[in-house]
Structure 1
Amino acid sequence: MTTTFARSLDEALTALAESAAAGAKPVVVSGGTLCVPAMVRGELDAADVVDLGRTGLNTLAVGSVIELGALVSYQQVISSPRVRAELPLLHRMASGITGGIQIRNQGTLVGALCAARPQSDALAVLVALQAEAVVVSASGTRTAPVADLLVSPGTTHLAADELVAGLRIPACLHGTGYVKLKFAESSWPVVTAAAVQDRVVLGGVAGTPQVVPLPSRREVRAAVVDHLDALPTEHRWADLRAPWAYRRRVAPEIAARAVELAEEAR
């Protein structure tokens, strides 16, 4: 295994391109809180590793659009008064991130996106906020909605020579709400729900976040039940924490609580 500690984005992209051209499966490390333990456990097979830690992609800029580099940590999100004011949903999620202070200081939103784990704290929130990923390679740059990048558990629409350099999220001053269910402080969530305007986005019930349009705020539970019952069996998510039937049972209530919080925040 070859590890490149890139000192710039261009150096990282060159290493990715060379690895991909050789037919390898490079792994990009930002915070490393997910992929490094997975490599140690042998769950992630990495021929080449490209570490972004020295590339300076840790900037957070707040305007009409909030821009976060690939190395922006949850703690940076928590510590930003502008994010708290203009993206309260993102701030709320980051403040309660699973894993405590170490994950808050080292874990990144981009890392969570690229890991594409259904049980993630972050994915449903990013989809609810209509976040866009800035995807770069040696041949150019493209933007893609986060919702379109997520394919299935652990899989994204990223080519072997591409990486996510950052996220762009429209400022959201409307009422929003976020609720998650988990069984212990350090455990992954079982179900998450992010409510924004006329939709609620569920995490932990399928391989990718599920957007549930809400015909009215009073019909949250019914809308969630109808959506989940229509999910193809192969897309329903279960793991050691809970079977899908349990997730289906609790998701309507978690969604309703998130919508209630959004109403209170208006």
Structure 2
Amino acid sequence: MNTTFARSVDEAVAALAASVAAGAKPLVVGGGTLCVPALVRGGPAATDIVDLGRAGLDTLAGGPVVELGALVSYQQLITSPEVRAGLPMLHRMASGITGGIQIRHQGTLVGALCAARPQSDALAVLVALDAEVVVRSVAGTRIVRAGRFLTGPAAPDLAPDELVTGLRISLRPRGTAYIKHKFAESSWPVVTAAAAAGRVVLGGVAGTPQVVPVPAGAAVRAAVADHLAALPAEQRWADLRAPWEYRRRVAPEIAARAVELAEEAS
């Protein structure tokens, strides 16, 4: 297996392009908390590795729009004054990330986004915040919203010769909330809910985060229940942690609580 330790984004995308042109199967590694254990277990089937550890993508810049590189860790999100004050929902999610101290210091938000696992802590939050995903290849840069970037379970909108260099997220200092339901401190969430801007985004109930417009008051539960009832069977998510029917039953309560907390924070 060939490994390129890219010293810049240009070098990384050039290595990707060369690998794809040669008929190889490249894998981009950032924090490595998801893909490295998978490689040890025998998957994914990669022939080349492009390591971003030296590419200078670990910076976080504040402002009206927070810009964070692909290698920004959850711990950087936790300790950032800009994130704490301007993106409290993101701060809350990072502070309770599944996996504890090792994941906080090594895991990355972009890594979770690119893995696109329905049970992720992060995906509903990124969709609720309408995060912009910065995608690079040798052909140039394109920007795609998080909701469109996630096309299915483990299926991000990325070509083999593309990588994500970072995220752009506009500040939302008030009126947002995030909660999750899980069975144990170290387990993946069963259902997550991120409330912002008159909608609640549910994770863990389908192959991609589900956006539900929220009416006032107790009708939130009914709106979520109706949305899930209309979800096509092939999109409903279940895994070893919980079947679909359990997720369907608890999601309206989790969503209602997130909306209630968001209203309190307004």
TM-score bin (small chain): over 0.9
Deviates most, 171-180 or 199-208:
171-180
Q: 1:220 to 1:50 in 2, by over 3 A?
A: same
1:238 aligns with 238
- Residue 179 of structure 2 corresponds to residue 168 of structure 1: no
Which consecutive unaligned segments of at least 5 residues does structure 2 have?
none
- Structure 1 residue identity aligned to 2:223: A
2:93 aligns with 93
- Residue 17 of structure 2 corresponds to residue 17 of structure 1: yes
Q: 1:24 Cα deviation (Å)?
A: 2.2
Secondary structure of 1:36's counterpart equals helix
Q: 1:26 Cα deviation (Å)?
A: 1.3
Q: State how many pairs are aligned.
A: 266
CA distance in 2, matches of 1:46, 1:187: 27
The 5 A counterparts of 1:160-199 are 160-199=160-199
Secondary structure of 2:218's counterpart equals helix
Secondary structure of 2:111's counterpart equals helix
CA distance in 1, matches of 2:192, 2:226: 17
CA distance in 2, matches of 1:109, 1:135: 15
CA distance in 2, matches of 1:203, 1:45: 27
1:225 aligns with 225
- Structure 2 residue identity aligned to 1:239: D
The 5 A counterparts of 1:17-36 are 17-36=17-36
Deviates most, 17-26 or 175-184:
17-26
Secondary structure of 1:16's counterpart equals helix
Q: 1:23 Cα deviation (Å)?
A: 2.3
Q: 1:118 Cα deviation (Å)?
A: 0.2
Which consecutive unaligned segments of at least 5 residues does structure 1 have?
none
Q: 1:163 Cα deviation (Å)?
A: 0.3
TM-score, normalised with respect to structure 2 = 0.98
- Structure 1 residue identity aligned to 2:173: L
The 5 A counterparts of 1:239-258 are 239-258=239-258
- Structure 2 residue identity aligned to 1:5: F
Indicate conservation of the 8 Å contact 1:191/1:205, yes or no. yes
2:203 aligns with 203
Q: 1:260 Cα deviation (Å)?
A: 1.3
Secondary structure of 1:257's counterpart equals helix
TM-score, normalised with respect to structure 1 = 0.98
CA distance in 1, matches of 2:177, 2:120: 17
CA distance in 2, matches of 1:171, 1:45: 38
1:150 aligns with 150
CA distance in 2, matches of 1:170, 1:219: 29
Cα RMSD after superposing both structures = 0.8
Identity of paired residues, percent?
75
Indicate conservation of the 8 Å contact 1:198/1:216, yes or no. no
CA distance in 2, matches of 1:194, 1:161: 32
1:110 aligns with 110
1:54 aligns with 54
CA distance in 2, matches of 1:222, 1:125: 22
CA distance in 1, matches of 2:218, 2:198: 11
- Structure 2 residue identity aligned to 1:32: G
**Per-residue CA distance 1:140-179 (angstroms, 9 max, x = gap):** 0010001111111111111111000000001112311111
**Per-residue CA distance 1:217-245 (angstroms, 9 max, x = gap):** 43110010000011000000000000000
Secondary structure of 1:169's counterpart equals strand
